[in-house]
Amino acid sequence: MKTAVIVFPGSNCDRDAQVALRHATGQEPAMVWHKDGTIPDGTDLVMVPGGFSYGDYLRCGAMAANSPVISQLHAHAERGGYILGVCNGFQILCETGLLPGALMRNTGLEFVCRPERLKIETTNSAFTNAYSGGEITIPIAHHDGNYVADDATLDQLEGDGRVAFRYLDNPNGSARNIAGVISENGRVLGMMPHPERAIGGHEGGTDGLGMFQSLMAAA
């Protein structure tokens, strides 16, 4: 599986993503600087990593959503490529319209950083097919992880089976405890928890590895 990681000014999880993809696929991902605007031909998966793109000025992810690489990201999704946005990456994907909803300030108005239990809501996706359901534990680290959308959008996500993960102990006030959502075409996933920080056992367990194994099987 050929992979790439988009790097913005202020990204700080791009190296975590690089290590996770190298570990999972056995191949080195392409590191794409956001102003290059070119995702390598033949890329199967693009990761939009966590961090604080552009220092989180304006809304989180709003400035990154206007970067030159975003048109390439849209084109990648349209031709059937996979996209995984984690934390700030999730915020960016919502700002670009690749995913519905928005990420707001945590209801407790505090940064949260801890392992978090998630319920796997669907195993019928390219991102979760290697899981057998049940629960996993994935680290979180965010200040603006409160997922919001109008009721009609939330109902549609639920009805279409596009809620990928749900918090068992909602750390940020997200609507309906949603921790991750999938696009209408099933090719884009955004989530606040960090699966790339749970792939080797030493940095927070191995429960994130199933996501990359799922994507390899799908690709």
Domain range summary for the chain, segments of one domain joined by +:
3-218
Structure confidence at residue 54 as a pLDDT band (50, 70, 90): low
87 noted as active-site residue: yes
Please give the full DSSP string across the chain, using - where no structure is assigned.
--EEEEE-TTB-SHHHHHHHHHHHHSSPPEEEETTT--PPTT--EEEE--B-GGGG-SSTTTTGGGSTHHHHHHHHHHTT-EEEEETHHHHHHHHHTSSSSEEE--TT-S-EEEEEEEEE--SSSTTTTT--SSEEEEEEEESS-EEE--HHHHHHHHHTT-EEEEESS-SS--GGGEEEEE-TTS-EEEESS-GGGSSSBTTTBSTTHHHHHHHHHH-
Whether residue 149 contacts residue 101, with contact meaning beta carbons closer than 8 Å, is answered with: yes
Q: CB 109: neighbour CB atoms within 10 A?
A: 7
Give me the mean pLDDT over the 1-21 stretch: 92
pLDDT at 127: 97
Question: Looking at per-residue confidence, does 57 or 147 come out higher?
Answer: 147
Give me the mean pLDDT over the 188-194 stretch: 97
Burial of 57 per CB tally in 10 Å (0-12, 13-18, 19+): exposed
pLDDT at 25: 92
Q: What is the dihedral of CA 175, 56, 205, 116, to 10 degrees?
A: -30
**Integer Cα distance of 74 and 76 in angstroms:** 5
Task: Choose the catalytic residue: 87, 94, 121, 142.
Answer: 87
pLDDT at 133: 85
Show the tokens assigned to 32: 């794409």
pLDDT at 214: 96
**Integer Cα distance of 37 and 29 in angstroms:** 16
Give me the mean pLDDT over the 161-184 stretch: 97
Give me the mean pLDDT over the 64-87 stretch: 92
**Mean pLDDT, the chain, integer:** 92
Question: Looking at per-residue confidence, does 62 or 1 come out higher?
Answer: 1
| pLDDT tens per residue across span 80-101 | 999 999 999 999 999 999 999 9
pLDDT at 65: 78
Whether residue 194 contacts residue 140, with contact meaning beta carbons closer than 8 Å, is answered with: yes
13 noted as active-site residue: no
Task: Choose the catalytic residue: 95, 116, 121, 196.
Answer: 196
| pLDDT tens per residue across span 100-159 | 999 999 998 898 899 999 999 999 999 999 999 899 999 999 989 999 999 999 999 999
What architecture does CATH give domain 3-218?
Answer: 3-Layer(aba) Sandwich (3.40)
60 noted as active-site residue: no
Task: Choose the catalytic residue: 34, 76, 143, 194.
Answer: 194
Q: Is residue 204 scored above 70 in pLDDT? A: no
Q: Considering the chain, what percentage of its residues have pLDDT values greater than 90? A: 78
